[in-house]
Structure 1
Amino acid sequence: MKRELTYIIQETDGTAALLTVQSFLKSRGYSHAVIVSLKKTPEGILKNGVWARAHDPLLPGDCLQVRIVEDSSSDHIVPRPLPFPVVYEDEDLLVVNKPADMPIHPSQGNYENTLANAAAWYFKEKGESFVYRCINRLDRDTTGLLILARHAYSAALLSRMVSARQIKREYLAVVRGTPDVSGIIDAPIGRKEGSTIERRVDFEHGEPARTHYELLYSEGGYSLVRLRLDTGRTHQIRVHMKYLGHPLPGDFLYCPDYTKIKRQALHSCRLSFLHPVTGHPLSFTAPLPDDMRSFFPSVSLNTL
């Protein structure tokens, strides 16, 4: 993978006494690790066409070129021909609509059935190197939109955007019963005592967690709700909706009712953010999966 970026230094980028190649790159979000990698790359940094050092000064009108080169792939990830529905792809990132029953990362017992394995196969078939960098998280059985970074620079920018809550995520969930038309669940979440994975609302020891929800439709004892998170705690939607009295069916931890669905009825339906490199606004949607749509046979949900 090779990515080249060009910058023309402007008067507003800094004074001649202070602006260097390194300080300019840091101002553009290049991490220390990425800058070190650029230093080691032949002609990784060029100033006016000449190989430059990190501490070289920059003046208005100078042309700074950056060459990001990643020739190796994640060697611990085995390529496997698994579903990998790409919603969007460019030189800096991908957006993928993850299927159910697919972990994001390899782990004990999950070495060849993950999104990482699918990504490795996808790029192997294209004849391209690819280091696996998944930016946002989804549980194994949650479907929907995920961002993968194509290189270390975009990964650094996107990770910073996640921390600053600049990537807006919306979810759709099927829940038992009929909640209020809309509301906010503001209840801290902590680990359940005696469990390594289960979480619960814990006002004494939990971390702050805040979920906005909106009722969209109800039928046959179930409802479809749209959700937006102010925080990103583990299992936040699943725990908060159970706390509200409206758990997600098919959830093996919080509502093990598999009569209508075999996994938690949760889907990441929308991602909106500014492109980390170009700054252009991006927005993506993924339609409601068939297993969640089947709860509401009397209505068309294509527009959700």
Structure 2
Amino acid sequence: MTQYYSPITYTVQEEDDGMLLKTILQKRMGVSRKLLSRLKMTEQGIHLNGSRVYISVKVKQGDIVDIRMEQETSEDILPQPMDLPILFEDEHLLVLNKPAGSVVHPTHGHYTDTLANGVVYYWAAQGWKYRFRAVHRLDQETSGVLCIAKNPYIHQHISEQMIAGVVDKRYLALVHGIPLPASGDIDLPIDRDPVDTHRRIVTPSGYPSLTRYRVRETYDSLASLVELKLETGRTHQIRVHMSHLGHALIGDKMYSQTLQHAEYADSVMDIDAHIQRQALHAERLTLFHPILNRSMTFEAPLPSDMSHLREWLQNQNLA
């Protein structure tokens, strides 16, 4: 027997009176064309006042429209028990504090020990059926807030917010040196490095990329704690932009080469030895929850490795 998630509903307003149900679904509820086609093929997909109807019918004020999506599971992901640092969860969203070093989703040659394996196990243990849908991604060595959608409707809405640039993503990074000025915009296009396709570089032929930054703390001339806001979401964007400015992230083995001739190069290797990954943390994520109909902010505290590095830098500052 097919099982369904809880219905998502909309009450027809006065200004909607006389609209086609299809228009309500697309314009008021924000159902994508793809999801609408899927709902039309689902036995219990679309209801008006509790009854199945054609989407060509007209609605009137006070009518109740609801959509019901079939429950799904990620059958291609092996369940695997692990500790999950959950920041928030309801029947629509799961928000985690991703540990540094963890891979988000299984990839070729890496089918286990990912967050997806742990999440699928956790849901199954609760008797819940959800498909793993990460709304955004974080590099393996980046820690912090990660948002996972539990159904295609939520995934679609938050993905659209990401594309529209209305999701506020804030990061903290410990970088070599002190960026000047203390705040500003890094508006430099990014694309693949033609020599090493794993790397990204700033290049005039690249994709538009915008990072806003603000220096929070400085540690003599050695390093800085920088808050960064992503306005675009290019691969390695923060790492590439900061490295291009000559202020690569501490511990970033891939993008620290630009520091070889910097005035503080002698201290680079010493500082990098105090952390085993790039010092980057997704501190805060703000989005609009389409079901609760309100803005929500999720925060993850600075992880222990970055906290210890920060304390060590503060002590160097006092020496």
Q: Give yes or no for TM over 0.5.
A: yes
Structure 2 counterpart SS, 1:2:
coil
1:174-212 deviation per Cα after TM superposition (whole angstroms, max 9, x unaligned): 111122222221211121112221011112x11111211
Residues in 1 aligned to 2:232 and 2:65: alpha-carbon distance in whole angstroms: 38
- Structure 2: which amino acid aligns with 1:183? G
Q: Match of 1:100?
A: 100
1:77-133 deviation per Cα after TM superposition (whole angstroms, max 9, x unaligned): 111123321111112212111111112221122110212112111111111111111
Is 2:280 the partner of 1:266? yes
Q: Match of 1:227?
A: 228
Q: Match of 2:125?
A: 125
CA RMSD of aligned residues (A): 1.8
Is 2:56 the partner of 1:55? yes
- Structure 2: which amino acid aligns with 1:288? L
8 Å CA contact 1:3, 1:69 repeated in 2: no
Is 2:298 the partner of 1:276? no
| Mean Cα deviation higher: 185-194 or 211-220 | 211-220
- Structure 2: which amino acid aligns with 1:296? R
- Structure 1: which amino acid aligns with 2:167? I
Measure how far apart 1:46 and its partner are. 2.0
Is 2:23 the partner of 1:10? no
- Structure 2: which amino acid aligns with 1:291? D
Residues in 2 aligned to 1:210 and 1:7: alpha-carbon distance in whole angstroms: 37
Measure how far apart 1:7 and its partner are. 2.0
- Structure 1: which amino acid aligns with 2:232? T
| Mean Cα deviation higher: 83-92 or 36-45 | 36-45
Residues in 2 aligned to 1:39 and 1:174: alpha-carbon distance in whole angstroms: 50
Residues in 2 aligned to 1:190 and 1:8: alpha-carbon distance in whole angstroms: 46
8 Å CA contact 2:158, 2:287 repeated in 1: no
Is 2:300 the partner of 1:297? no
Structure 1 counterpart SS, 2:22:
helix
Measure how far apart 1:140 and its partner are. 0.7
Measure how far apart 1:34 and its partner are. 2.0
TM-score (norm. length: structure 1): 0.91
Residues in 2 aligned to 1:297 and 1:7: alpha-carbon distance in whole angstroms: 51
Measure how far apart 1:218 and its partner are. 2.2
Measure how far apart 1:269 and its partner are. 0.2
| Mean Cα deviation higher: 166-175 or 34-43 | 34-43
Residues in 2 aligned to 1:56 and 1:296: alpha-carbon distance in whole angstroms: 62
Structure 1 counterpart SS, 2:68:
strand
Q: Match of 1:80?
A: 80
Structure 2 counterpart SS, 1:239:
helix
Structure with more helix by fraction: 2
Residues in 1 aligned to 2:211 and 2:46: alpha-carbon distance in whole angstroms: 44
Measure how far apart 1:41 and its partner are. 2.9
1:127-171 deviation per Cα after TM superposition (whole angstroms, max 9, x unaligned): 111111111111011000111111011111111111101110000
Measure how far apart 1:10 and its partner are. 1.3
Q: Match of 1:166?
A: 166
Residues in 1 aligned to 2:122 and 2:170: alpha-carbon distance in whole angstroms: 27
- Identity among equivalent positions (%) equals 39
Residues in 1 aligned to 2:156 and 2:199: alpha-carbon distance in whole angstroms: 30
Residues in 1 aligned to 2:107 and 2:49: alpha-carbon distance in whole angstroms: 46
Runs of 4+ aligned residues of structure 1 deviating over 6 Å after TM superposition are none
Structure 1 counterpart SS, 2:256:
coil
Measure how far apart 1:246 and its partner are. 0.8
8 Å CA contact 1:238, 1:248 repeated in 2: yes
Residues in 2 aligned to 1:102 and 1:109: alpha-carbon distance in whole angstroms: 15
Residues in 2 aligned to 1:276 and 1:5: alpha-carbon distance in whole angstroms: 10
8 Å CA contact 2:8, 2:291 repeated in 1: no
Structure 2 counterpart SS, 1:26:
helix
1:214-273 deviation per Cα after TM superposition (whole angstroms, max 9, x unaligned): 111123622111001221111110011111111112223112854111111100000112
Q: Match of 1:144?
A: 144
Structure 1 counterpart SS, 2:133:
coil
- Structure 2: which amino acid aligns with 1:112? T
Residues in 2 aligned to 1:43 and 1:132: alpha-carbon distance in whole angstroms: 23
TM-score (norm. length: structure 2): 0.87
8 Å CA contact 1:5, 1:66 repeated in 2: yes
Measure how far apart 1:40 and its partner are. 3.0
Which structure 1 residue ranges, 5 or more long, are not aligned? none
Q: Match of 1:218?
A: 218
